[in-house]
Amino acid sequence: MDERSVKFAAFSEGKLYDAWTVLGSRPTASGTDFAVWAPNARSVSVTGDFCGWDGGGSALQREENGVWRGFVPEAREGQLYKYIVEGCDGIFRWKADPYALAGEFRPGTASRIRSLNYSWGDRDWMNARRSLEGPRNIYEVHLGSWRVHDDGSFYSWDELCGTLVPYVRDMGYTHLELMPVMEHPYDGSWGYQSTGYFAATARFGPPEGLMRLIDECHRANVGVILDWVPGHFCRDDHGLGMFDGTELYSDGDMPGWGTYKFNYDRGEVRSFLISSALFWLQVYHADGLRVDGVSSMLYLNFGVEDPARKRYNCNGGEENLGAVSLLQEVNAAVGRLVPGAATYAEESSAWPLVTYPPEKGGLGFHYKWDMGWMNDTLRYFSEDFDWRRGKHALLTFSMMYAFSENYILPLSHDEVVHGKRSLIGRMPGDWWRQFAGARALQLYAACHPGGMLNFMGNEFAQFIEWRDYEGLQWFLLQYETHAGMLRFVNELNHLYRREKALWDDDHSWEGFQWMDADNAEQGILSFVRKSRDGEMILCVLNFRPESRENWRAGVPAAGAWKEIFSSDEERFGGTGKRNPRRIHTTHIASQGHPLSIRITVPPLGGTLMKYLG
């Protein structure tokens, strides 16, 4: 059996992890080789720029495992094309190439013949990233609306290299997460209804531009996470739906979303999805994949309300066993084949062991978004100050399960759209209290165990909800309140990277100790974060608008403590209540601890006190 036959046998078994190397279009000096999987088709041809979009096109020949293949001498690098697939139902469908490496700029839907040629300059980064240790403070970005030109047109990849990359670096974020940059037909889907699982969107230029953007991020010491969507795909005629007259890729409709679900039990579909995941990590040098909508994959009846339409697995349960095994296989392949790359699950149910290895019954993700923390925290911060006394448990409940998974704390795009209001728009009180509350939210996230994620616009307190069809309101930075908020997030980010007690031991009780969890009356939380080598930071957070003078805080060790950060500094827009000098412990018990220090706690904010010994 030759190498090609071996690969197609693995493809059918769901074990081909580089399917893009044998399927799709591959240009050469003498023409282009095309290969597409359509096992139930009566005929397949390819048409495009090279033949004036002739309706007959160049016929492909059926080979093994349902793959159609042909060589077209006239087809050249950069030309557009589509497959004309005569389905088993006799209908001719014009389809984009599922394995295309580039696509046509919308509203066009054709594929483009491309080879990917880029000279990488990130060897040092790629060698250093093999360890998953270190802080994770992620800036989530929708490239189509981060900034736009005055005429509403998109920034190109190169323009983003010159603007977005230095911004993320200077702001102190460790990672840049890009909402799906895979090709998609409709801007309003934000990229989450893809047609190009191997094609970077043409909205910002040729695919090498995305490679350059990732390369520049790496040179700036910033990792890149790409959102990846294996849960569903769009119904557009040129896409994967009814590809050869049958539900080749799909397993029925995704209720409520107007999309199709993938068939995770079919070997060729598994090869397609696993190859897609590895493609972005290996070919584009991405540092991680955030997997969207994991809950919709895990449950057969996700979103199904009609009892007559409900399905059950062979064990009588509602778990989608094919999806479970696919996710385990993807995560295992990433860990084995792409050292240092990470996967992130957006999983909103109570599915257990999401970040545990498959051999221990887990899904194998490296991190999981903590949706419970996000919901409880934003609910608390939306409450009026007088009502917060009765809601104090919303702040402390997350510590009941904080170390059950490896968590990321998301303040994501989903929380600033669809009538939910912007983050600062949720804050009660007058103008000053709203901004103080927004700072307190960011500080609380930085102190709480788990990595952080912040969506664009949150860092300077944009009041309106995010609008995907226009740029962020950067003009707000001419106002001191918004400029102060940006200054605060910048300094907090750099402090977070610098102070390893805030992240070094994020996933066990060894890195966290409560000092006072139950002060609902005053709205104060105090706890200590610890690094594995003994550094300690006391975090005292006040969620009421009254400052606390001479407040006695319990501490775990005798010696000197010094304030290293306050959200109430005047340059951030605060009142300037600080603890300017070293403070020594006394043997006066407080909150059940035999040692304490006396400090000033600012209004609607917090202070971080570092242990000096």
Catalytic residue IDs: 292, 346
Q: Angle formed by the axes of helices 267-282 and 321-337, to 10°?
A: 30
Half-sphere exposure of 454 (CA within 13 A, CB side): 31
Largest Cα separation within the chain, whole Å, is 89
Q: Is the dihedral of CA 54, 56, 61, 67 positive or negative?
A: positive
Element (H, E) at 261: strand 259-262
Sign of CA dihedral 209, 211, 216, 221: positive
107-131: b (≥16 Cβ within 10 Å) or e: eebbbbbbebebeeebeebeeebee
Q: Is the peptide bond before 230 cis (omega within 30 degrees of 0)?
A: no
Question: Residue 224 contacts by C-beta under 8 Å, 6 or more apart in sequence?
Answer: 175, 176, 177, 178, 213, 214, 217, 218, 285, 286, 287, 288
Residue 48, classed as helix, strand or coil, is strand
Task: Report how far residue 367's alpha carbon sits from residue 184's, in angstroms, rounded to the nearest whole number.
Answer: 26
The Cα–Cα gap between 383 and 390 comes to 10
Task: Yes or no: say if 110 and 103 are a contact pair by the CB < 8 Å rule.
Answer: yes
The burial of 430, by beta-carbon neighbours within 10 Å (0-12 exposed, 13-18 middle, 19 or more buried), is given as exposed
Amino acid letter, 163: T
**CA 326-139-531 angle, 5° bins:** 85
Who contacts 457 (Cβ-Cβ below 8 Å, separation ≥6)? 416, 422, 466, 472, 473
Residue indicated by tokens 């890729």: 249
* Token output for 604: 């609607």
- Sheet with 24-28: strands ordered across: 24-28, 31-37, 67-72, 61-62
